[in-house]
Amino acid sequence: MSDNQSDRDVDGSRGPGAWIAALILIAVGVVFLFQNMGYAIPGNWWALFILIPALYAFASAWKAYEANARQFGGAMVGPLITGIVLVALTVMFLFDLDVDWNLIWPAVLIIIGVLALGRAYTRR
């Protein structure tokens, strides 16, 4: 299989990678254009790039939801939590929120532990 064909899906269409790369280039170009035109752009605009993997996580959770006959299932938990955490990080960085990380990280670890325990319990 040639390199050109490896980029394509089974039906011959290109995967989402080309679209995402193009949208990223356009977004960065728009940001630089607005900055050069004198518009006030937040200093942490780079935090918007954290939303890219968040969108993939939410898409994965949606696919798991669809595959489970439109019911909440265990396969959705990981991608859904990942998407929520990434969106929360984006908001914190973008708006430069003063967050007490000494409280956030232990809380995140506790939540992950509780979810892992619940997931192990439901597999029995």
pLDDT in tens, 5-14: 444 545 555 5
Are the C-beta atoms of 14 and 8 separated by less than 8 Å? yes
Are the C-beta atoms of 27 and 48 separated by less than 8 Å? yes
Higher pLDDT, 42 or 16: 42
Task: Identify the pLDDT of residue 16.
Answer: 61
The DSSP secondary structure of 30-80, one letter per residue, reads HHHHHHHTT----TTGGGGGGHHHHHHHHHHHHHHHHHTTSS--HHHHHHH
Does 4 score more than 60 pLDDT?
A: no
Task: Identify the pLDDT of residue 70.
Answer: 85
Instruction: Read off the pLDDT of residues 53-84 as tens digits, 9 standing for 90 and up.
Output: 888 888 888 998 888 888 887 778 888 888 99
Are the C-beta atoms of 94 and 47 separated by less than 8 Å? yes
Task: Name the region of 71 (left: φ>0; alpha: ψ -120 to 50; beta: rest).
Answer: beta
Q: What is the pTM of this model?
A: 0.61
Give the separation between CA 45 and CA 51, rounded to whole angstroms. 11
